[in-house]
């Protein structure tokens, strides 16, 4: 993931935690912040490894289910 971000010239920061944070509430409690200050994270497993996307702002969309 780090190499992909560097190759794309994205600004990024890697933050390591003592344990996985599996919810916004766990993250807020861990950092001692309000839940509104958390950022949703998407982790995708690909043939090349794991990729992660952190959403600073969310736009909710509704797609039809076929």
Tell me the average pLDDT of the chain. 76
- In which band, very low, low, confident or very high, does the pLDDT at 34 lie, cut at 50, 70 and 90? very high
Q: Is 9 helix (H, G, I), strand (E, B) or coil?
A: coil
Q: Are 37 and 28 in contact (CB under 8 A)?
A: yes
pLDDT of 66: 47
Taking residue 24's Cβ as centre, other Cβ atoms within 10 Å add up to 15
pLDDT of 32: 94
Q: What is the mean pLDDT of residues 46-52?
A: 80
Taking residue 4's Cβ as centre, other Cβ atoms within 10 Å add up to 14
**Token digits of residue 65:** 């289910």
- Model pTM score: 0.48
pLDDT exceeds 60 at position 45: yes
């Amino acid at each position: 993931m780090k190499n992909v971000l560097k190759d794309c010239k994205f600004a990024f920061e890697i933050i390591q935690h003592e344990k996985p944070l599996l919810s916004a509430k766990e993250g807020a409690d861990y950092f001692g912040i309000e839940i509104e200050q958390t950022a949703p994270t998407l982790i995708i497993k690909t043939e090349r490894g794991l990729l992660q996307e952190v959403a600073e702002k969310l736009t909710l969309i509704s797609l039809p289910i076929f």
